[in-house]
Structures are given as C-alpha cells and as structure tokens.
Structure 1
C-alpha cells in the first residue's frame, strides 16, 4: 500500500483549501506513476485519521477527483485510481512530490542562443556598492504623482473600458499626448498615425529589426555599440557590419564606403549619446547620414534613449526631425526619465511601417498596460513629466560634475575619460598596464561590484579597455564612497606589483 500518511503534506497556513491540497498531491502521485491505474485508495475514514483532518475534507477531495476523472468508486469494493489512465513507469517512493516535479533538464530539444546568456541580477547586501552602466535613480521617481494619477483614473467609472481589449497601437490619449510632446521637444512633424506605443524602447528595437533584417539583411553598427541591440539584430537574422566611432560619433564616410560595395538595409545609431562611449553624432555627420539613407534607401534606427539629459547646451534635435524622405525609425521611452519599471516606449515611423509593426507586436504582446499608458498620458498633459524631467536634470548634472571631479582627482592616474555632455554615465578607459579582471576581483574585496561583463564593450576586439560607469544613480555620499573604494583597489593592485 502506498504510504499516504508519509507522503501527503498539508499546509494549514496556505490559502488553498485542504481538500484541494489533497487533490493536487494525489493527482501528482498518479501523474508520476506512484499510483498506477486500478490502485486502491484508502477509505475516507482511514485517510482522515492518517492525516488528522475531518472526514468531510477527504470526502470533498475524493468527490473532486471523481469529477475530474482521476479516480472512481466501485460499490462494495472501494475507491480506485481510474483504470482508463495510461500506465506510467513507477517513480522511486523515496522521492517527495516536489522532487518528482523538480525538472532542471528538458526532455525535448529547443533552440539555444548562447549570445543572450548573462549573469542574473543579484540582490546585494547594504554594505556592498554596486555600480551600473548608466540608469536613473529610482529614489527620484515621481511615485506620488504616478499613484495619484493612477488612482484617479481607476476610480472613474468610464475608465473601466480600459480593462478590456484595446488598440494594438497603444492608448489613444497617450498617442495624442505624444504628438504634442515630441513635436515640441524633439522638433518632429508627426501625427498619431506615426506612433506605436511599446513596452520600452527595447521592444521598438526588436519590432523594427524583425521587420527589417529577415533573410540575412545587412545592418551597420559602431565598433562599440549597445550590446543588447546587437543581440536583437543577430536574433532577427541580420548580418552586422562595424564602422569606426570617434569623438564625432559614427564615421559616415566609412558608412558611405560600405554602401558602395554592398547593399545596406539598416544603420543603427544612438545619435544623441552614443552607447557606450557617450559621444554625440555631429551635425555634419547627421546631415550626411540622412543623405546617404535617401540615396541608398536604407532605414535608420535612431535609438534616442536619453535625449532629455543634456547638460552643456540644448540637445541637438534628432535625425528624425530632419527626415523628409521617410528613412528614420525613431525609438524612445520613459524608462530613463522616470524609472526602468515604467515600461512605456514609442516607435515613430512612416504610417505603413507603424501599421506593420503593430501587427507584429500583436502576436507577441496583444497590447500594453492601458491603465499605465493612460496615467502617463495624463502626466504629460498636466506637465508632471516635464516638471520631473527638469528637476532630475539639475540633480544629474550636479552628480556628473561631482563624480567627474572626484574621479579625476583620485583616479586620474589610472583612467582616461572625457566629461560627457549628457547622459547618465562616463566612458572610462583603463590604462593598459592594468587589466579589468584584476580590478573587478580586487573591487569585490572592498564590497564594490563593477560590471563583470566589461568585455561586452569591446565588440571589435580592439582592447580599448573602456567601460561605462554610471553616475546618475549615485548620490553625493555614494559617489564619494565609490571613488574612495576604487582608490583603495588601485592601492592594492600597485602593492601586488611591487
């Protein structure tokens, strides 16, 4: 007889009823082969005594199992596992039900993508200082304004329609709000039909690449480039061609030379603050790139991930603001302005491309978060987003100035860097006498976690020794603490070389 008393474990603190817990576990025993077809089950009185529960609970469990077809009762004989179920090889009784269902390895084949493998995010102890590659400070997010606006929307009866299926293009009010917002702040010339709302800018990059790069189409990227974008292009089947990046951004003369020798379908650029080096694509190269796109009929994916954060002067308007030929796909979002969890972005393009992207988006994500999109629309209309942006712009500029000053003062003997005109990170090049693997290892001894994937910045294996170090998410005390710990790291490295 199967040892029910030993194997059925009931959690009286669980929200799931006890009779359903019994059902779940008996079904598990049947599926795992522990209870083969025609196996006799203990009577309800006996099982109730073994489990120390009321008999009615067992009766309810058996009734549910009978209704689902797992067991059946034979008058004057007892209750049995249904004899119509398939026979499954019996599992080892020594294993618990959780161990039976703990599957680390799939029993089927599937396509693996090694280029997407990364170490999972880790929650670090308070004393450990983790340095990112340029993300906003979540502590500054306008959570009160978001909560107030969201609450007001959900309390309105007529907004209950937002809970149903809505447009695959995104919330209409948000699209209309973005027309005014982007035309005013980015110098665009768009209407609602040019906008597709996405779950962050990454979805926009994915949709665009799937439509543009099928059948091994060619895309030009920088020799240093945003790694996730590269992965997305590779996933779409694109063939990547690298061109140099210097202090003026992508080398458009090099792009022209490539175009003369092969058919180029797409050029990807982070024109405002190149990722990862933070340089800005010059006005001259912007105009050259637009002319090349018109001449050679390729698409430009313009990823404008942090347009709003420019400190030295007014930001240069995006390529999309001067696109009169329909070549630019402009992608942006609100994760950098507000917080990474605000997964709302947009894809701006000619209407026919937006229509096709919306159809594709439908099969991977039917629609976005309509309530959150409505919230953001109200915050744009009410000026909350603009006020928050102006507020954090001043804070991030102060943090940049302090961070760069401290970095130059205490770490200038080990790094070269230029003060960025905007963005949330600095691009630092470690002197060649040092190696990042050693720096990262020693840093951990000082409770300082740096980017373990520093090699991802070296796409062309040029050994430039550069990485991005984010400053926006560090307040003044944390910035000082980071620089002090880094100074100790190099003290330790220098002592090891003596």
Structure 2
C-alpha cells in the first residue's frame, strides 16, 4: 500500500500549465527535487501513476512519461507487478524543509568560493533612452548592412561546404580574410605586411587579452597613458603585470616620462592610442612618435598600437600608424571594424611579425579555436570589391558635418560651463565641465529626461580628475544633437 505521507508530498507539488516547459518535465523535476532533498528515500515506493494523476489532476500518460524520464536518468527503478521505486544506488539524504525548496529553482549562488577581484567588477549598462551622446559609436543606419548580408549569404551558398563547415580551419583566421586585411593595411596605412603578419580577432578587447595572455608574465611592467581605457588596464592587472600610468597632454602621451621609467626598470610593453588618444582624442605629435619608436628599439619593449578609429580624420590626412615605421618588429598593431562599421559585429585584426602571429595563434586555440571565418570572409568580400572604402568616404562627410554642428551647439549653448577642443577626427568630443558640475548627478538627471551621457567615473584616477566625459556625435542626427544639447542646457 502506498504511504499516505508520500501521497501528501506529491499533493503539494505545483505544476504550471502556462509554463513553456512540458508538464511531464515539470513533474520529473519535482520528483527529482524530492529525492535530492531527502523526502523520497532510497528504495521507497512511489504512488502509482493512476494515484499521482488523480492527486495532481493530470493525465496518467503524463505521469508515466515523467517516471520513464527519471528511470532513464537512473533515479527510479520499475519492476513488473511491484511498482516504481527510488533507485537503491542513491545514498540516504537528510530531509530538507519543503517550504524552501521550489520545484524549479534557478541557482543564484555557487557552492564554491569565487576569486573575485576589484578589477573584475566591470558593470555594464545598456541605455534605452531616445537620445544618446555615447562613447563614440558609428551610426548603424549608414552601415552597408545589405551588402554585408549579401556577402554573408554568398559564403553560405557557394561551393566547398566541407572546408567551410565540415572541419576546423586556421586559428589565426581564414586565408581570404588575412589576405584582404594585409592588402587593406598596406594600401591605407602604409604597413608592409603579408597574410602571415595578420591574425583575426573578435575586436580590440580580445586582441589585448590575447597579447596579455601570450606575451605578459606576472610582474612585467606595462605602461599606458592616464587617463586611459580602463578595459585595457584591467587586462594588464588581470595578467598580474605592474601597470604604470604616465600623463597625457595636448600632444598625446608624454614620452619623456616613459623614458624616465625605462632608465629605472625594465618595461615589457607600452599601450598607446596615438591616432586619437582614448579618451581625450588628442593625437600623438610626430616628434613623440619617433621618440617612442626609438625608445622601443633601445630598451626592447613592445608597443601595442590600438588604432581604433584611423579611418575618421577630418582636417587633413592622418599621420600614418607607428606600425608603418616598424622596422625592427617592435609594434603590434590592432584595429577593428567596430568603430567604422558597427559594435555589434565583432571583427578585428592584429598585425605583427610572423613569429609573433604564429605564437599568438597557438595561444588563441586555448580560448577560441578559430573565430567566425564566415563573417570574416564576408567582410573580406566587402573590402575587395571596394564597398568598405566607398562607405568610409561617404560617412566621413556625414560625420564631419555632425562634428561641426555639435561643436557649434556646445559652444553657443553650453560654452559658459564646458571646455573642449574641436577634434581632428574620431566620433566624439572630449568635454570638460565646470568643477561645480557633478557629472554623476547630471547623468542621472539627463537619463530621466531621455538622454544618455556618461557619468565620467571611468575617466577618474587618483592622479587625474578633470571632470570630463566623452560626448559622441556620430550616431546622432542633427535633430537629435539639438534636442540632446537642449536637455543638457536645461539641467546644467
């Protein structure tokens, strides 16, 4: 005879017909919870399928399917003429309080300790406001999405399916993509590369992480400018490197300070954004570029050149990257299409000496076997047929107009409370507010009014507090820029 206690346990189960999970799976989950919490003992007989169906007011076949599911998993055993029992192979467990044990409980806290560190606390926020003066993103409405769709579809429909989909390929990227990127960098940036100098990555951040994993050892000194990009700095810290920040002025990284450090200790790598320093957008002056290269040759450190927005320069032709003068193989060049195309598409590249690329590819396998060769090949098609070049020429004009319009607005409407320089390129204006302006409060109030701006926290350092934020203009129409500045003016 079935135990009335066991029947009572079953009768307290709550099944939800509105749930997307099938009823029989909800029931099997519930029985499994009772076993794990010690309310159904090893060897204990379960009520019949007819009784369970009657108790829960469900179909008997549903109960039979739930029992069968748990039998296949080894939790239950069924014997002809005797019934269904909890498996004898399960150890005895002390019963836990049923009131605190829901049938489907999502785990919130792990049973093991986490090695949580401050630099790993990277809260991210996705704004949903109508208006946004962001970190400097492109306008997706201008991107050649139809052309990318067509190129991606071509990759799926052409021949050679086994080599595309049936096996793994090169960890450093597809031959087609590397060849296209090499030619593109040589033509547009004056680099001297072949496909053996190129490695495909999923954006700049992956490139930085890969470099830190492959080339930085605990205790190595890594130098970068302050203020800088904290995501990169967190990677340095995570690699257990000694991160040293040096000042950035109106001419970029203060290379004289780097020279002083080099005389005192061994520097392993210098991270720099020479085209438009992040976050202040200033360009590294030519004499400092040459001195930085000379110091790298003299002291043997790596230059990691993050060239995140080379394609957008308005007043004149941009200075060529440090990598274009990389005679002794000291520069690792990193670029991506996130700023020029869309942050949603994770496509980037590293350019370095052949032996460095080979080493990075070997390390990359530990993290990501090969990346997305289909998407890379689609982008390579757009490079080879000139789509990307035409897109960049067209958007350069649009973004320059938006820059000028936005800077005029800032000066006329907020000139008494902000200080800024018109950037030579890029998609954002580094804007310093009056010290009396609390940027954290301002960003909250602006958000409540439908405008997203940064609160500036990520640009603050113990040695730097200029009350500045990046105000991106490229992703906004002139009408949106007008309304955004109107909101700010009403709050400041």
Tell me which of 280, 284, 287 is aligned to 1:281: 284
Tell me which of 96, 119, 122 is aligned to 2:123: 119
* Partner SS state of residue 22, structure 1: helix
Query: How far is the alpha carbon of 1:423 from its aligned partner?
Result: 0.7
Partners of 1:117 and 1:131 in 2: how far apart?
A: 24
Q: 1:42 to 1:342 in 2, by over 3 A?
A: same
| Alignment-derived partner of residue 161 in structure 2 | 159
Q: 1:76 to 1:192 in 2, by over 3 A?
A: same
| Alignment-derived partner of residue 496 in structure 1 | none
Partners of 2:13 and 2:49 in 1: how far apart?
A: 16
| Alignment-derived partner of residue 402 in structure 2 | 399
* Partner SS state of residue 94, structure 1: helix
* Partner SS state of residue 203, structure 1: helix
Matches within 5 A, 1:379-390: 379-390=382-393
Alignment size in residue pairs:
485
Q: 1:217 to 1:103 in 2, by over 3 A?
A: same
Q: TM-score, normalised by structure 1?
A: 0.92
Moved more, 146-155 or 332-341: 146-155
Partners of 1:21 and 1:258 in 2: how far apart?
A: 64
| Alignment-derived partner of residue 103 in structure 1 | 107
Q: 1:442 to 1:67 in 2, by over 3 A?
A: closer
| Alignment-derived partner of residue 146 in structure 2 | 144
Contact 1:34 1:91 in 2 (8 A): yes
Segments of 5+ residues of structure 2 without an aligned counterpart are 1-5
Query: How far is the alpha carbon of 1:72 from its aligned partner?
Result: 0.7
Contact 1:223 1:460 in 2 (8 A): no
Query: How far is the alpha carbon of 1:158 from its aligned partner?
Result: 1.9
Moved more, 465-474 or 60-69: 60-69
Query: How far is the alpha carbon of 1:125 from its aligned partner?
Result: 5.0
Q: TM-score, normalised by structure 2?
A: 0.93
Q: After superposition, give the CA deviation of every residue in 1:13-65 in whole Å (9 maximum; x if it has no partner).
A: 73x65444433443343334443322322212222334444433332332232
Partners of 1:56 and 1:441 in 2: how far apart?
A: 56
Partners of 2:393 and 2:98 in 1: how far apart?
A: 65
| Alignment-derived partner of residue 66 in structure 2 | 61
Query: How far is the alpha carbon of 1:215 from its aligned partner?
Result: 2.0
Partners of 2:34 and 2:394 in 1: how far apart?
A: 59
Contact 1:12 1:18 in 2 (8 A): no
| Alignment-derived partner of residue 494 in structure 1 | none
Partners of 1:383 and 1:69 in 2: how far apart?
A: 60
Tell me which of 250, 253, 268 is aligned to 1:265: 268
Q: 1:269 to 1:10 in 2, by over 3 A?
A: same
* Partner SS state of residue 267, structure 1: strand
Query: How far is the alpha carbon of 1:6 from its aligned partner?
Result: 4.0
Partners of 1:366 and 1:8 in 2: how far apart?
A: 44
| Alignment-derived partner of residue 200 in structure 1 | 203
Partners of 1:25 and 1:184 in 2: how far apart?
A: 64
Query: How far is the alpha carbon of 1:78 from its aligned partner?
Result: 1.9
| Alignment-derived partner of residue 4 in structure 1 | 10
Partners of 1:475 and 1:94 in 2: how far apart?
A: 56
Tell me which of 310, 313, 324 is aligned to 2:313: 310
Q: After superposition, give the CA deviation of every residue in 1:246-276 in whole Å (9 maximum; x if it has no partner).
A: 1111111221121111111111100100000
Query: How far is the alpha carbon of 1:172 from its aligned partner?
Result: 1.4
* Partner SS state of residue 244, structure 1: strand
Tell me which of 45, 57, 82 is aligned to 1:40: 45
Moved more, 425-434 or 301-310: 425-434
Tell me which of 460, 480, 483 is aligned to 1:458: 460
1:178 corresponds to 2:181: yes
Q: 1:294 to 1:153 in 2, by over 3 A?
A: same
Partners of 2:114 and 2:183 in 1: how far apart?
A: 46
CA RMSD for the aligned pairs?
2.0
Q: After superposition, give the CA deviation of every residue in 1:147-184 in whole Å (9 maximum; x if it has no partner).
A: 11111221224235322311111111101111111111
Segments of 5+ residues of structure 1 without an aligned counterpart are 491-498
| Alignment-derived partner of residue 472 in structure 2 | 470
Matches within 5 A, 1:286-435: 286-435=289-438
* Partner SS state of residue 365, structure 2: helix
Partners of 1:123 and 1:87 in 2: how far apart?
A: 50
Contact 2:29 2:103 in 1 (8 A): no
